[in-house]
Structure 1
Amino acid sequence: MQLEIRPDPAEVGRARRWARARLVGSGVGADEPLAETLILLVSELVTNAVVHTGRPAVLRLSLPGGEAEAETVPVRLEVADRSGLAPVPRWVDGDATGGRGLALVDGLADRWGWSREGAGKSIWCELDRCERPQQDTKVYDIEAAAYEGLAFEAV
């Protein structure tokens, strides 16, 4: 499934609505945490494409084929744009209102990355359906400290 995105900030809301509508029949309940995480990731990746490239993009979504696949097949989200520039790390201070999009993707997705696609690039992420084990607080604090002040910008 894919959605053509115009280089207009209003497209972010349309992309969220489109992704929510695709959840019907996928085995992913619209009110479960995975769905909310997916919609947040759609927002972040589409926003990056719209704001930082100023060019059209394509949102692709691969969902499980129903209850039978829902537990084993990851949800895959991909945004392809026509900018060949790689995502680059960017430092932001605590008062900045933007610049944390890919840091959020890194923290929420089970896997993510990017690749060249024609003259542009594709940024993708995957979410597993299975429950994650609770992390020890000490490990979480170390991981959170590693990302302090670090953000990524897709250009």
Structure 2
Amino acid sequence: MQLEIRPDPAEVGRARRWARSRLAGSGIGADEGLAETLILLVSELVTNAVVHTGCPAVVRLSLPCTAAEQATVRLEVADASGRAPVPRCVDGDATGGRGLALVDGLADRWGWSPEGAGKRIWCELDRCAAKGREGAASLGGGASAFEGYEGLAYEAV
């Protein structure tokens, strides 16, 4: 399943609605921690694509065929920008710059790879691990493609 998005911030809401409808069709309830976390990840990765690249992008969502307990959900956002994603350390007053830190904290795994002239950023959520999550607000220990960012601080406001 994929959704083409324009480089317009309004596309972030459309991508969230699209992902919610795909989740509902796969038997993953909207109130499950996995669904809440995935929607937040869609928001972050699509926002990064439309705000930082100025290029159209494609959102792909791979969902399990059944609601098996150990299924993995994979989200990918591919864009035409060759710029690598770079996690940033921002001060407490900054209004942005925390997206990749959130992805790192919420996803079980994530990374990126070059794709043609652009790139593909991906993240995965394991459904069995999601059962222990308290929704999108719980920042866990996801595995990052960038080593050395374990010291990032998270602040809930």
Normalising by the smaller structure, the TM-score range is 0.7 to 0.9
| Match in the other structure for 1:48 | 48
Q: Deviations over 1:58-80 (max 9, x none)?
A: 0000011122xx32220000000
Residue 146 (str. 1) matches residue 144 (str. 2): no
Pairwise CA distance, 1:91: 2.3
The structure whose residues are more often helix, as a share, is 1
Q: Which residue of the other structure, out of 60, 76, 79, is the alignment partner of 2:77?
A: 79
Contact between 2:71 and 2:128, CA under 8 Å: does it hold in 1?
A: no
Contact between 2:20 and 2:30, CA under 8 Å: does it hold in 1?
A: yes
Question: Aligned residue pairs: how many?
Answer: 139
TM-score, scaled to structure 2: 0.83
Pairwise CA distance, 1:89: 2.9
SS at match of 1:88: coil
Q: Distance in 2 between matches of 1:145 and 1:94?
A: 18
Q: Deviations over 1:81-123 (max 9, x none)?
A: 0001111232211000100000000000000000001100000
| Paired amino acid for 1:129 | R
4+ runs deviating over 4 angstroms? none
Q: 1:92-107 to 2 correspondence within 5 Å?
A: 92-107=90-105
7-16 vs 90-99, which moves further: 90-99
| Residue ranges of structure 1 left out of the alignment (5+ in a row) | 135-139, 150-155
Pairwise CA distance, 1:31: 1.2
Percent identity at matched positions? 80
Q: Distance in 1 between matches of 2:63 and 2:150?
A: 33
Contact between 2:89 and 2:152, CA under 8 Å: does it hold in 1?
A: no
TM-score, scaled to structure 1: 0.84
SS at match of 1:106: helix
Aligned CA-pair RMSD: 2.0
Pairwise CA distance, 1:25: 3.1
Q: Distance in 2 between matches of 1:20 and 1:89?
A: 27
Q: Distance in 2 between matches of 1:18 and 1:107?
A: 23
